[in-house]
Amino acid sequence: EIFSDMINQRANAVTDSEKNAIEPDLITYSILVKGLCKADCMDKAMEVYEEVKSKNMLLDCIFLNSLLNGFVKSRSYSSDYLRLIVDMKAEQIKYNYKTYCILTRLYGKHKDIKKVLETYYAMKDSGIKPTLIIYACLLQACIKCHYEDMALKFFEEMKEQGIMPDAAVYNI
């Protein structure tokens, strides 16, 4: 309740700043999107995204990662996140380490093991080395998708790379 009131106040502040000819920048919108995602208001977060796009603002990986991460944490299983991925590719926004982590978790949430694997191999092809966090995301996705043999393969690969599993990995 309190958090929702804060989000509404921030949204009103953005609207008020527009009335006073103060144009919000991408950082302002990013903060708003993060708050909306945290409150699990993904429809409103996507409205903000559409507004940013309509203003022809130059989108960046940080802004889009916030939105994608919102879909990971959301209770809903909306497929709106696919639009973000298409737009990232169309705008040639380069994925960073965090993007690959988020996408792995997001595809795992939606039980799309093919996309999980595509993301993993694309990350490696881009020169980003897998870390404990990436492997943990892979293991979770494999197990959620009932690919236990594949999870074991990634677990062994992780150890071969010299990455030691922590307690969280053993509890997956």
> What is the tens place of the pLDDT at every residue in 14-60?
655 556 667 889 999 999 999 999 999 999 999 999 999 999 998 89
Give every CB contact of residue 164 below 8 A, 6+ residues apart in sequence: 132
> What is the tens place of the pLDDT at every residue in 48-97?
999 999 999 988 999 999 999 999 999 888 888 999 999 999 999 999 99
The answer to whether residues 80 and 46 touch, using CB atoms and an 8 Å cutoff, is: yes
Sequence length of the chain is 172
The dihedral over CA atoms of 95, 100, 106, 108, expressed in degrees to the nearest 10, equals: 150
CA distances for 76 relative to 16, 43, 70, 161, angstroms: 30, 10, 10, 35
Q: Would you give the distance in Å from CA 64 to the centre of its chain?
A: 7
pTM for this one?
Answer: 0.82
Give every CB contact of residue 136 below 8 A, 6+ residues apart in sequence: 168, 169, 172
Say what the pLDDT of residue 166 is: 80
